[in-house]
Structure 1
Amino acid sequence: MNERVTPEPQRRRRRPTKQGIVLSQQLIIDTALRLVGQQGAGALTVRRLGISLGADPSAVYRYFRSTDDLLLAIADELIGRAQQGWQPTGDWRADLRAIGLRIHANYQAHPQAAMLAAHRTTGRTHEIAAVEAILGILRTAGFPGPEAVRIYHAFVDQSLGFAALDAAALALPAAARTADLQVWQASYARLDAATHPHITATAHLLATDMRRSGYPYALDLLLDAAEARLRAAG
């Protein structure tokens, strides 16, 4: 895609597409998310979007300057979906935990898109709202500015890092995902206690725990550390 974009007043397509749909930014984002979810990252092309929309691929230029511009819009859409319905309770720890779990769950619902978008910074509406909300929770709780920023940074990177990692696992073919999980039984559980006593002693626990994401526990560890720092600071 080129770097030209139609001015905002001229963007709306007056005639419906072949499928009777009037194009919009939101429709293109939703369609792109569906395509990536069904066919992987390679589906994010204007040609495939045009086919799915029943429109000439060049129509996408009216809304997005490039595929990267569209990808940033997808990233911001995922952030926005994670915020839908969330309301602060006034309990800073509970609020941060809820936001983190929402981010993680939403990215798991769109694993292919998560791998493309989790590491991007959009500077767009939903991301700005999320940054403002998280910093507001921390500063209202009593964390001074520098500490609030450091905790925000750790919190967001942890959330998105786990989201991308777990999304990559979910995006694996089913056979590969199953094979990976079976390694804990087929390999680790059969190690010799004489050479690997610690693995042998916990093999049954590993086989169970590695089937679920480590994110909720890691999130609680981070919040424990933040709470301890807040208490120490008085």
Structure 2
Amino acid sequence: MTGRRRWSTEEILDAAAELLRAGDADSFSVRKLAAVLGTDSSSLYRHFRNKTELLRAVADRILLAAMDGHRPEGDWKQRITSLALRVRDAFGQQPQLAAVWGRHASSGTGSRMVMEEALQALRASGLPDEEIPDRYHRLVVLIAALVAAEAGISTLTAGEYEQGMELFRVAVLGADPERFPALAHFAREVRPLGADRGAAFEDILAAHLAHIEAAVRQE
């Protein structure tokens, strides 16, 4: 009698990534993954202790892909910007996994590579060592939030996006000027969240780096 196939860790992660692309981290389960692979959950628990550990491994592979071939270039701000854009682009290819990174922090090789580059760039900025951990934390929280927000928009279908735009136009252009005077005043200039998200990502990141640069000058 032939036994069930033994799946490698990499094959399990491949299947998990595909399942996550079709859904999200909330609907994902080890039981569903086992069903896709034609095995039982217990066989997967030999590789990963629980769902969270599995999700962290999937997210780490995205970070590892983001760092593939990366070579630090330019000053510290250029290095951080390049790093952030690499991470954004990597999750842009698999947007359903962006929330996994923000929710389930990875401790794998990909995560360590991202951390190392960010910390090295911050040290190159001239910040005192004692300030770097806190600055690093704020920077990564910002990047993770921006990546998740941009990825969230990209998972919408064309119909869902257009419906959202129409609801936005109705809500903004139809705002009662007595109750919402500022909104009514800026109605034709205010843009929806999905508009020009890429430029907003870079502008917000640049503003944060400028804030760090100003702090360095005050030292």
Q: TM-score band, normalised by the shorter chain? A: 0.7 to 0.9
With over 3 angstroms needed to count, the CA separation of the structure-2 counterparts of 1:193 and 1:132, relative to structure 1, is: same
Query: Bigger CA drift: 71-80 or 108-117?
Result: 108-117
Equivalent residue number for residue 128 of structure 1: 112
Per-residue deviation, residues 25-53 of structure 1 (Å, max 9, x unmatched): 12211210111111333553334323433
Amino acid at match of 1:221: A
Cα 1:209/1:28, change in 2 over 3 Å = closer
Contact residue 63 and residue 87 of structure 2 kept, 8 A? yes
Please report the TM-score for the alignment, with normalisation by the length of structure 1: 0.77
Show the counterpart of 2:214: 228
Q: In structure 2, what is the Cα distance between the partners aligned to 1:142 and 1:92?
A: 9
User: Which one-letter code corresponds to 1:231 in the other structure?
Assistant: R
Secondary structure (helix, strand or coil) at the match of 1:204 reads coil
Q: How much does 1:198 deviate? A: 4.0
Query: What are structure 2's unaligned runs of at least 5 residues?
Result: none
Say whether the 8 Å CA contact 2:16–2:33 is kept in structure 1: yes
Counting matched residue pairs gives 215
For 1:43 and 1:120, how far apart are their aligned partners in 2? 15
Question: TM-score with structure 2 length normalisation?
Answer: 0.82
The answer to whether the Cα contact below 8 Å between 2:101 and 2:144 also exists between their aligned partners in 1 is: no
Q: Which runs of 5+ in 1 are unaligned?
A: 1-14
Residue by residue over 1:65-108, the C-alpha shift from the partner in whole angstroms, topping out at 9 and shown as x without a partner, is 22222112112222222222321014111110111122223233
User: Is residue 72 of structure 2 the alignment partner of residue 88 of structure 1?
Assistant: yes
- Alpha-carbon contact 1:35-1:44 (below 8 Å) kept: yes
Corresponding residue to 1:185 among 162, 169, 174: 169
Letter paired with 1:220: A
Matched, 1:45 2:29: yes
Matched, 1:79 2:59: no
Match of 1:66 among 50, 68, 75: 50
- The answer as to whether partners of 2:56 and 2:100 remain within 8 angstroms in 1 is no
* 1:24 correspondence with 2:31: no
Structure-to-structure mapping, 1:201-220, within 5 angstroms: 201-207=185-191, 210-213=194-197, 214-220=200-206
CA distance in 2 between counterparts of 1:88 and 1:127 reads: 16
Instruction: Determine what percentage of the aligned residue pairs are the same residue.
Output: 26
